[in-house]
Amino acid sequence: MFACLFQSQMLLNQLREITGIQDLQVLQSALNVCLQQHLSMYSGLYCLTYSCFYSRALEVSAEENAARMKRKRCEGSGESCSPADWIRQEDCPVGIRNVGNTCWFSAVIQSLFHLPVFRRLVLNYCLSERVLEKCKSHSEKRNIAFMQELRCLFALMVGSNRRFVDPSAAVELLRDAFRTSEAQQDVSEFTHKLLDWLEDAFQLAANGNNPEDKQNNPMVQLFYGTFVAERLHAGKIVSNIEQFGQYPLQVNGFNNLDECLEGAMVEGDIESLHSDQPVSSGQERWFSKLPPVLTFELSRFEFNQSLGRPEKIHKKLEFPQVIYMDSRYLHKNVDQTHGRRGDVKRLKDQLTVLQQKLEGYKNYGSGPTKYPLADMLQYVLEFVTTKPTNVSPASLCDKLCLSFFSLPCLSPSKYDAGSSDGSGCPQTATQKTPIHKPFTQCRPPMEVPLQPAPHSVTEEELYFVRSCLQRWRAEVENTVNELKASIDKVSQALEGMYSDNSLCQVSYRLHAVLVHEGQASAGHYWAYIYDHANKRWLKYNDVMVTESTWEELVRDSYGGMTNASAYCLMYISDKLPYLIAEDTDDETGQALKGMDSLPSILRSYVREDNRWFQQELREWEEQFCQAQCEEVHTEKPIPEEPQNPEQEPNPEPAQEQTNEVSGEPPTDSTPAFHEEYSRLYELSQEETTPQQDPRLQHVLVYLFQNQAPNRVIERTLLEQFGDRNLSFDDRAVSIMREARSKIRLIKPEDMDMDEYLQWHDDYSMFKTVFAYLLTGLEQYQNGKIREALNYLAHAHQDNSVLLRKGERKGVDQSLIALYRIKCLKELNENAATLFKSPDANDVAEAMTIMNECIIPCMHLMVRDSVSQEDLDVIELIRSCWCSYLGQDMDDSLQEKLSEFLPRVLDCSAEMVVLKEPPKVRKSPHNLCSRLTAVMESIHSTSVVTVK
């Protein structure tokens, strides 16, 4: 008995290695079906053939695949997910499910599958029994198993009725290998390993006798090429031929794909050997044989030695839809390319000189600030031709000071001990200095000159200077135009250097772009693949397959704008139509599509899987109809069991009093509804204290306190009980179904959904305001004043919107305003101290504080209706910075002061843009506990930390 069991287990292990099916239950089921057709166990072992067993195993595997898809879909989308939503649309490609950080697998497999020549290779992959018997090593058995799983996956992608397929079996084989010493950390290495497995598997089918000879390996023929590497050794050129698959290209330092290729092909100045110039060391690479499918691997990931971690390069890199490889990269064009490279080098040097000259005219000056020379000459000409004035500098200063301090926004009462206005009349305590008038509208006296002008200038001087400046300006403009024309001419010559027809014969067209979004340590992968039959781009993002455009591809793939960029480009030869040609029937010559293109054994496998999918659809429909009937049956007795029919209210008057809220729920409600309604109503009657706010505990408390309409309150309560996540037992499920049935009975005319959603949006903003307030107070107590001010400014701004809708819609503004003032005072003192520092970094920090924190907050305060305390702190800040006007300081500081001082004084001259705060936690329990901790901390001497 033990020997039979042992032999049976040995047979299962051998069949698992041969077929690639890893599930022992599937193998055992298929084995039992086959053995029923034989007389005995031992005769079955010898009569069982590979094709018979594989056919049976595929049928069982299709059943298991259907069950796995059903389980995965329910796990990922919940019970309410309908299989009808996952039916494949006609002529739409199939997506691939992400089974756990496998989006890279989906992107790579889709780009290979939609290459018809490769798809045919996989679907028609077959090994003879003689070759199978020779496969003894673990790697060979693993590669064969992976190929069989890939065949099944490709077959489903061809003929499945599902919108997406499950790659779990193939992915699990890869994961098993990566759990061993073969594990790789980088996705590119993962992809290399996948392609190596495919190459080894095809090698067994191509030439089982000589594994070293790979000339007949279809993977090598399709994806591998050769290049010649030339270098200098002892004054002679030494060359050797090397093979390549995915060709790596550096991204840093280059702007487009051609520059990347030239940088990878040329090292040093070896081309000088082909002329009479002195010899220098270096190395060149030239493609000697290009593969039909040319893949470029863009090195967008590098290891930062100083930080000790990998980083992603987000630099923009352009690439074309068609690239000509014979223009400068083929070994047969060495001499012609060398000559053109010399011309390109000379043109680039010339272009550099021209651009430097033009830059000198566009940015002229010896100081830190530079201006266009033509404009500077024009400004001097305008100064000279301005009518001179007889006003002395001293009197001009007096008039400017008088004009400055007569501005309404800078009343002398704010800076002097006296409290009189401009007319000398004392102000009363109720009078306020207006501050809303823009600084730019405060006009100086008419006798003060508006433009700088020379004190005196003679006619002779004016004539001489004007003629010189006009002539020089004309000369400068002519020179600039000539430089621009020369730059355009040289640029056109560079662009056309490799674009003539003699060097544009070997064209490659873009087939697929693999995109990564995120950072080096984490991210998401998808692919853009060209649909050659329909001449369109498609985006393959796991289960989602959507039509796209070249513009969208550029936006996601070039990089430089977001953290998404291409990391792999796949080009195919334009001269080999068989690469994208569909299968054709040998007899009729008609194109084979869908199931007709599959081998018979895979066709049966897909049909079996589609049969299981159809059965799954029928089962779901039956379950849905049964659930509907149960809900209808549950609904009927509810109106027939009122607790007190005599007290049942008339529905018409109830709708007329929608704004009257009481502690009694609707009379037709169940005990569960009644208990929850009463509990929350009693909670809404509790007094609000600094340490607790009942509104944070539940949305219904917020609705009760703000006198929300009854229809809004009732639907909110029903939505709560109708939440599936709260249905943890039979009673809860029953209550959930009743709540959902009541919701369905609400007619559109009975409920204004816009009004309902607005109430809930207000409550969401209310919690956000509280989260901003609490986070700001916590940051303030921890000494992070800048962060605190940002949160408090957002809290005040959003809270003002809520308070305009009702007194209980928002939070008491006094606490927000108090700590906003404290933050402003401390930040302003810090900025003023840093501004006077001799360290340039401190001055820059002061400017950042003013421009990013203080000034935007001041502008918001002036724009809104602010209190006297807010006005006082604004005037305090203005006084502080205006005091610098009479002090001696460096020209650079004077310039910086003049940049932001008008913005401090005039709070209506620009649009207010607050820095967006990070996302905050808004769960009611979290906010309640944080409120208690923060308020206790405010009224004590120590900081309370909320965990």
Q: Chain-centre distance of CA 666, in angstroms? A: 47
| pLDDT confidence of residue 422 | 42
Q: How far apart are CA 545 and CA 89, in angstroms?
A: 11
| pLDDT confidence of residue 185 | 43
**Position of tokens 């006094």?**
814
* DSSP state at residue 99: -
The model's pLDDT over 855-899, given as tens digits with 9 standing for 90+, comes to 888 888 877 656 788 888 888 888 888 887 767 777 788 878 877
Q: Quick one: 152 exposed, middle or buried, by C-beta within 10 A (0-12, 13-18, 19+)?
A: buried
Q: Chain-centre distance of CA 40, in angstroms? A: 62
Give the E-state strand segments of 820-940 in sequence order: none
Residue 905: helix, strand or coil by DSSP? helix
**Position of tokens 């995120």?**
518
The model's pLDDT over 323-351, given as tens digits with 9 standing for 90+, comes to 998 777 887 877 777 777 777 888 888 88
- C-alpha angle with apex 709: 705 to 715, nearest 5 degrees? 100
Q: How far apart are CA 493 and CA 344, in angstroms?
A: 9
Go through the chain and tell me how many residues it has.
Answer: 947
Domain ranges, ordered by start, for the chain: 774-946
Helices 373-385 & 334-362 angle (0-180, nearest 10): 20
| pLDDT confidence of residue 186 | 53
- Output the CA–CA distances (angstroms, integers) from residue 402 to 434, 715, 721, 848, in the order listed: 18, 66, 71, 31
Question: Is 114 designated active site?
Answer: no
Residue 445 has pLDDT above 50, yes or no: no
Q: With bands split at pLDDT 50, 70 and 90, how would you rate the model's confidence at 945?
A: very low
Rounded mean pLDDT of 580-599? 80
**Contact 117/578 with Cβ under 8 angstroms?**
yes
Q: How far apart are CA 426 and CA 493, in angstroms?
A: 78
Give phi and psi for 293, each to the nearest 5.
-115, 115
Q: With bands split at pLDDT 50, 70 and 90, how would you rate the model's confidence at 803?
A: confident
Q: How far apart are CA 552 and CA 557, in angstroms?
A: 8
Residue 290 has pLDDT above 70, yes or no: yes
Rounded mean pLDDT of 122-148? 84
Q: How far apart are CA 493 and CA 472, in angstroms?
A: 32
Give phi and psi for 309, each to the nearest 5.
-155, 155
The model's pLDDT over 552-570, given as tens digits with 9 standing for 90+, comes to 999 989 988 777 899 999 9
**Position of tokens 């290049």?**
227
| pLDDT confidence of residue 672 | 75
- C-alpha angle with apex 198: 197 to 199, nearest 5 degrees? 90
Helices 855-863 & 891-905 angle (0-180, nearest 10): 20
- Ranges 264-268, 745-749, 814-818: which has the least confidence: 264-268
Residue 41 has pLDDT above 50, yes or no: no
Picking from 19, 11, 22, the residue whose alpha carbon sits closest to that of residue 68 is 22
Q: Quick one: 786 exposed, middle or buried, by C-beta within 10 A (0-12, 13-18, 19+)?
A: middle
Residue 537: helix, strand or coil by DSSP? strand
DSSP bridge partners of 95: 164
Q: How far apart are CA 562 and CA 675, in angstroms?
A: 52
Rounded mean pLDDT of 216-232? 86
Q: How far apart are CA 683 and CA 694, in angstroms?
A: 7
Rounded mean pLDDT of 748-770? 85
**Position of tokens 């007329």?**
656
| pLDDT confidence of residue 485 | 92
Which of these is catalytic: 314, 338, 524, 674?
Answer: 524
Q: What is the pTM of this model?
A: 0.53
Rounded mean pLDDT of 168-195? 67
Q: Would strands 236-244 and 246-250 be described as parallel, antiparallel, or unpaired?
A: unpaired
Token digits of residue 318: 């352009």
The model's pLDDT over 352-407, given as tens digits with 9 standing for 90+, comes to 899 999 988 888 988 888 889 888 888 888 888 887 765 555 554 555 454 444 44
Picking from 299, 304, 300, the residue whose alpha carbon sits closest to that of residue 519 is 300
Q: Chain-centre distance of CA 395, in angstroms? A: 61
| pLDDT confidence of residue 446 | 46
Q: Would strands 564-573 and 507-518 be described as parallel, antiparallel, or unpaired?
A: antiparallel
Alpha helices per DSSP H over 137-207: 138-159, 168-178, 187-206
Q: How far apart are CA 209 and CA 844, in angstroms?
A: 73
The model's pLDDT over 709-721, given as tens digits with 9 standing for 90+, comes to 888 888 888 888 8
- Ranges 166-175, 473-482, 741-750, 790-799: which has the least confidence: 741-750
Q: Which amino acid is at 443?
A: R
Picking from 80, 468, 507, 78, the residue whose alpha carbon sits closest to that of residue 292 is 507
Give the E-state strand segments of 53-131 in sequence order: 95-96
Picking from 80, 81, 109, the residue whose alpha carbon sits closest to that of residue 95 is 109
**Contact 75/119 with Cβ under 8 angstroms?**
no
Residue 273 has pLDDT above 70, yes or no: no
Q: Which amino acid is at 258?
A: D
| pLDDT confidence of residue 109 | 92
* DSSP state at residue 602: H
CB neighbour list of residue 914: distance below 8 Å, 6 or more residues apart: 790, 793, 794, 797, 856, 857, 860
Question: Is 103 designated active site?
Answer: yes
